[in-house]
Every structure is written in structure tokens, then in C-alpha cells.
Amino acid sequence: MDREIVFKKVAEITSNRFKIPVDKVTDDLNFTNDLGADFIDMAGFIVELEDEFGDVFTSENTENISDVSDLVDVIIRDTDPKSKKHISKK
């Protein structure tokens, strides 16, 4: 899966969810420190991401996600290519 495409989609979802400009979403944007996200915020965010990327997330692969780069890495590594969900290139 192409990192740039995944990043752009994650940036769009992050921007909408946390009400920040999409151009402020960078690889090192930390969900807790920079956005003030707590467990409840992240749970809702993960649900939105699963709507886009499919059932990628588990308790094991989400426990060490702290920034956008970590999140993109998990999506790229763990997305099932047979999933009916796919990333549009728009």
C-alpha cells in the first residue's frame, strides 16, 4: 500500500476528527501531546479509520501508536489486501 496515499487519507480523517487544518497534520503529530486526545477520543478515531481502512486495528497494534507516522505504519503493515475496504486515490 502506498504510504503517501495512506498518509493523505489519515491526514484528512485526523483533520476532520480533531478540527485542525489538514496542513498541520505531519508524521510527528502526537495524538496525546499535540492534540490532547484521550482514550475516548482515540477509540472514536479508530472507528472512523476502520470505516476507511477495514478491520486493521487490534489492541496489540494500537497500544504503541503515538503519532501519525506510527498510525500510517500500522495501516500499511496490517491492512488485509483481500479486504473489501480500499483506499481511494482521490
| Residues 6 or more apart in contact with residue 67 via CB below 8 angstroms | 27, 28, 29, 30, 31
Catalytic residue among 2, 28, 38, 55: 38
Amino acid at 35: L
The reply to whether 38 belongs to the active site is yes
**Cα–Cα distance, 36 to 80 (Å, whole number):** 30
Please list the active-site residues: 38
